A and B are shown apart, each in its own frame.
Chain A
Amino acid sequence: MQTEKRKERIDRGIKIRSDGIYALSSWREITYLIAPRFLLIGGLLAAPLLLHFFPYWQKVLLIICIYALLSMAFDFLANYVGLVCLGGSFFVGVGGYGAALLNKYLLLSPLISIPLAALFGAAFCTLLLLPCLPLRGVYFAIITLMYPLMMTRIIEAFELFGGTNGMMDIQGFGNPWIEQYFLVVATLVFLFALRRLSVEDLGLVIRGIKDNDQSVRASGINITFIKAQAIFYASFLGCFAGAYLAHVYMWAGLSMFALDFSIIPIAATVVGGGGSLLGAVLGAILLVPLSEVLRAFGPLRIVVYSLILTVVIVIKGEGLLNYLSRKYHQFERWVEI
């Protein structure tokens, strides 16, 4: 007799056994669970190798990672802490100038000046944003938008750090492999570290502030201090990205405070899907190459880019990651009855 078959969702058996806490009973199920993560890690790690003969696209990969870091910072602040921060370019600029200064005056090599610039830059950004922490919603957003504008004007007016010309002759990486892998690995490490943080006790407190900050205060916790820590982590990522950029371009200048670094990460987070950090990275992986491909449209590039963005957001407002993971969880297989 022919065996009958019916369709079954793969994730059902895994999830039902323990109500959200996964219970695995076979290698197939384990594979099912870790495959997406493996795809991301493996894909990013393999990318520099695969792109070896396309130096142009290697640069694009770097830009993807830069924007992935900025998108994570935005997503973290917006969806975990509840602070909508439009100051991505502030972080990039501070990190960029920081690295340039460290390299030029202390002669530190990129691998040292980048982490240091991220550290000092994050401390600097946190300090400057400290007075704005009690602000909420659109007030915080608008103030963070002003910071990069302010920095540009100050640098211009006082002719600081080379004024409008910027700081030139910053040391490059020399070795393209180091240039690629240092950033790719750092991006992955930051991604998983930040995701880890969000389920640690400190992360729960941070998310608590977004849900109900009054209740956190009524629990004896100084929310300004916690928010300052969150800003420090986010600006660390942003400054790291900026510092990297300075060494890639071998230059730090006013365009590091450009609006792109504030706006594109928001688009990436919205397209990819906020609230998981992974979505933000996915968004950057999609949007940055897209904007490169669209260079073929010449002056109409931004128009086409915006159209695509609008369509994606209107049709898949939940974000691509949420959509994909829902579909993935609905995968079916045939089983014998």
Chain B
Amino acid sequence: MAMLTVNRLTKKFGGITALDGIDFSIEKGEVMGVIGPNGSGKTTLINCITGFIKATAGDIIFNGRNIRGMKPHKIVNLGICRTFQIMRPYSSLPAYKNLIIPLYGPRARKTGGWRGGGRHGDRNIIALDLLEEVGFERESKVPYKLAGTLPTGYLKRLELARCLALNPDLLICDEVFSGLSMSEIASMVPLIEKLNKSGVTIIMIEHRLKELFRVARRVMAISYGEKIVEGSPEEVMANEKVKEAYLGA
């Protein structure tokens, strides 16, 4: 049985149809890419799956359970974690204290937090471990800096670390590579691969196709809220509609 199945998912904002009957499913352990031009409804799709906005119609089945209409925090606690495209860290807190918040939540407590131990007073240590995991230099001052002062590269990593703190079963990344330099992306890709190897199922929304295709075996393209095509990276890029809608030239 598929881990996540989305059936005829539709979202209307007033007169605008942002999602128009999207169907797809993802197996446990897979990495799936989602591509599409700006405004095609990718972020809206995530928002519907994770409960941040209510879908107008359709079903979202996660591990055999319909989660459409559930509250966001309940969905997280079932194991679906998402990153935000527009990062707003807890800017008045140091970077590592940002992770105390996910570690405080019921999911981290129940699953024992990162490698066990989220229950007791050692959340600071766990937070520093997590930051090291995503590439903050442990011995440097960076983990202790106010999150509001960090550059984009670190903020993306921090956002990823926030999800890791929750021990996700399904991780949904909304453009984690955008705004990063080539070398920063190069150092993020192995991180995603490692996560997937450790058993996390991943949906990646990306504009950086080359890097996306390194990790995603299967890609879905959407345009104006509709799925155009789904298949291997080669199949998708060969599709006429994708060339037209996405590459635009």
A residues within 8 Å of B by Cβ? Answer: 19-20, 201-202, 204-205, 207-208, 211-212, 214-223
Contact = CB atoms under 8 A, between A and B. Distances in A.
A243 B148 CA distance: 41
Binding site secondary structure of chain A: helix
A218 B76 contact: yes
Contacts of A201: 100, 103-104, 123
B196 interface: no
Contacts of A204: 90, 93, 97, 100-101, 104
A214 B71 contact: no
25 contacts: A201-B103, A202-B104, A204-B90, A204-B93, A205-B100, A207-B93, A208-B93, A208-B101, A211-B89, A211-B90, A212-B89, A214-B88, A215-B89, A218-B50, A218-B52, A218-B81, A218-B162, A219-B101, A219-B105, A219-B165, A220-B77, A220-B102, A221-B104, A221-B105, A221-B106
Given A207-B90, A218-B82, 15 more contacts: A19-B141, A204-B93, A208-B90, A211-B90, A211-B91, A211-B92, A215-B162, A218-B50, A218-B52, A218-B72, A219-B73, A219-B101, A220-B105, A220-B108, A223-B73
Q: Which 6 A-B pairs have the closest CB atoms?
A: A220-B76, A219-B102, A220-B105, A211-B90, A220-B107, A217-B72
Interface in B51-103: 52, 71-73, 76-77, 81-82, 84, 88-93, 97-98, 100-103
A207 B92 contact: yes
Contacts of B71: 217, 222
A219 B162 contact: yes
B166 interface: yes
A243 B210 CA distance: 67
B24 interface: no
Among A19, A212, A214, A215: residue with most chain B CB under 10 A: A215
A212 B87 CA distance: 10
Contacts of B93: 204, 207-208, 211
